[in-house]
A and B are shown apart, each in its own frame.
Chain A
Amino acid sequence: MGNSTHASAAGPVDFVAEQNSEEFQKLRKSHRNFVFPVAIGFLVWYFAYVLLAAYAHDFMSIKVWGNFNVGLILGLLQFVTTFGITTWYVTYANRKLDPQAAVIRERLEKQIDSANKTKEEV
């Protein structure tokens, strides 16, 4: 099997069982429930903006304040939402994802370490 280089790296762990464990499924859900909706959301918002800029010139040219027209304001709002989503994701990852991942990682690494030790003793 060509994949053996990867599989052998953590031999003693039953990854299928791990993948099906409640703990991991919860982490997976926390991750996907955040990244998928947010990714779809920012892509929809970005393409809405792109389509307006491509096809709705009159609307984008409406002056709102001084020389700031709708197009410029929506464009700058793309910057704001990008910065906002970045900060939001980092806060979420630090609070919700990292602690869950750390518990699983530490447990599995202990498992791998002890397996390596018994191998050395034999």
Chain B
Amino acid sequence: MSLSAAVLTVAPLAKSLGEQTKENSWINIAIFLAFVAVTMIVVFRASRNNNTAADYYAAGRSFSGGQNGTAIAGDYLSAASFLGITGAIAVNGYDGFLYSIGFLVAWLVALLLVAELLRNTGKFTMADVLSFRLKQRPVRIAAATTTLVVCFFYLLAQMAGAGGLVSLLLGLDNTNKVGQNIVIAVVGVLMIVYVLIGGMKGTTWVQIIKAFLLIIGAAIMTIIVLAMHGFNLSTLMDAAVNTSILEGGAGEALLNPGAAYGKAPLDFVSLALALVLGTAALPHVLMRFYTVPTAKEARKSVVWAIWLIGGFYIFTLVLGYGAGALIGKEAILAAPGGVNAAAPLLAFVIGGPVLLGFISAVAFATILAVVAGLTITAAASFAHDIYSNVIVKGDPKPEMEVKVARRTVIVIGVVAIGGGILANGQNIAFLVALAFAIAASANLPTIVFSLFWKKFTTQGALWSMYGGLGAAIVLITFSPMVSGGPTSMIPGADFSWFPLANPGIISIPLAFFLGWLGTVLDKGTEDPRIQAEMEVRSLTGVGAEKAVDH
């Protein structure tokens, strides 16, 4: 009885939650400005030694495993994970939790198969590894293309999220598109400044600070929510079920699978495949492994990342059910920001405007840090892979490559702002899942084959990368997410024939198959000496890029 009484006292409050949060939006803005000020100082200090390419792209390879692991967590725990998963659990219960498991287990692929070998054989980008023993130009162009496409979709998701969040966090109305677009532009400009000045070192520090704040914030909220329910997860789930029953919602079913994917189980399997195989093929994650001095530190980075990310996802389980119990599905969906509003609203209910301000500012910082990481990855890929190795054929004038990278940063920033404004209001989780599916299809087969399969050839790599990329994009275009459904990107039109929202289950196996087929049908062979060199280097670290001394 006491539980339902507690829910009843909260319920009328929840109705006006959206209104109440607006009154204190100056606190959100103040805390966010403080974050920007502190990180700017750090970025300026970090920018002193940003002359060479190794400094600019790889932070002089001087971060420790613990620092890099924290930065990886900061990079990986994007707004989609924090706001998206908390909201998904609050609204869909158990099915929201499924997301976080795929995101976490995926790190084992990176730990066991990719991180150390990549660190030992590459220099700055994913293409360094893929083109190591194959023909440089075509493979680099293909790898740079897939890198840019994955970064673009991921960037779009983050920027679109920035616009959606604003309505809740800064007290702008959901319909105030001009206000939202101004915020998207501000995020874009700040990101350009960070990356332009700070390079990888500055970006990494922004991510470390953000990861720290995010994990602390989530931990505080988790402890408060658990304390309100006698430190018993089962009691908390009871409360979520009760709130749901009072609303006339799913009730008990909240704890069981099926709320989100019950009608489309194959869709979920496809998504799960993309999540678990996509992480170790995300270019901005791979690039982080070059910021440490040795393969051993790369291993430590992943270990740190796994513990931080895993711990964080356990927090989101508590926060999701907490938001379901204390606010309720209806109130969350009615608030500006919808599903994404669950975490900020929960912060307001349990900690008042100050905790809301803190969590909101962290959510903003999250977008900023992730966007900065994506931008430096895309810029490095263009400058290092396309400019230096293809346009000037491996003979760039000194300093020119970094100059090109910096100019690319500005171009990407402008594209991100424009794309973010156009994509404003799109489903963030869908766009992120898309980036994972494309990465898993276009990149992972070639990464695995070139590290572990002696006979792999250039033709196999090209077929796999272009085939995987093309298949993923074609299937997405003709999926119900783009046309033909009630929530499609292009309302009114219907040219869909692919039934699933995520292409992974077709495009990932296809890309592996094409990699094999292209190789066995290839008339040419690759130089066995370079294959030998790559294998010996990948396992022993001979000749691996060293840390820069200053």
Contact = CB atoms under 8 A, between A and B. Distances in A.
B partners with A: yes
Contacts of A18: 532, 536
A35 B113 contact: yes
Chain A, interface size category, equals: 35 or more
Contacts of A43: 276
Interface string B265-283: 1101100100010000000
Contacts of A79: 101, 104, 310, 313-314
A93 B536 contact: no
Nearest to A41: B108
Contacts of A47: 272
Chain B, interface size category, equals: 35 or more
A9 interface: yes
B109 interface: yes
Given A78-B105, A109-B542, A57 B258 contact: yes
Contacts of B269: 50-51, 54
A115 interface: no
B522 interface: no
B128 to A, nearest CB: 9
Interface in B161-204: none
Interface in B75-101: 94, 97-98, 101
B542 A69 contact: no
Contacts of A16: 528-529, 532
Interface string A76-90: 001100110110011
Contacts of B135: 2-3
A61 B303 contact: no
Given A47-B272, A90-B303, A39 B109 contact: yes
A108 B108 CA distance: 30
B527 A3 contact: yes
Interface in B99-122: 101-102, 104-105, 107-109, 111-113
B385 interface: no
B528 to A, nearest CB: 6
A7 B530 contact: yes
A57 B257 contact: yes
Contacts of B9: none
A19 interface: yes
B246 to A, nearest CB: 17
B394 interface: yes
A72 B101 CA distance: 11
A92 to B, nearest CB: 10
A108 B532 CA distance: 14
Contact of B536 (A15, A31, A97): A15
A105 B540 contact: yes
Interface string B509-550: 000000000000000000111101111110111110000000
Given A3-B530, A67-B237, A67-B241, 16 more contacts: A3-B527, A15-B529, A15-B533, A24-B536, A39-B109, A43-B276, A49-B101, A50-B268, A60-B257, A61-B257, A68-B234, A71-B255, A72-B94, A75-B101, A82-B108, A112-B542
16 contacts: A3-B135, A10-B543, A15-B529, A15-B532, A16-B532, A46-B101, A46-B105, A50-B98, A53-B94, A57-B258, A57-B262, A75-B97, A82-B107, A82-B306, A90-B299, A93-B299
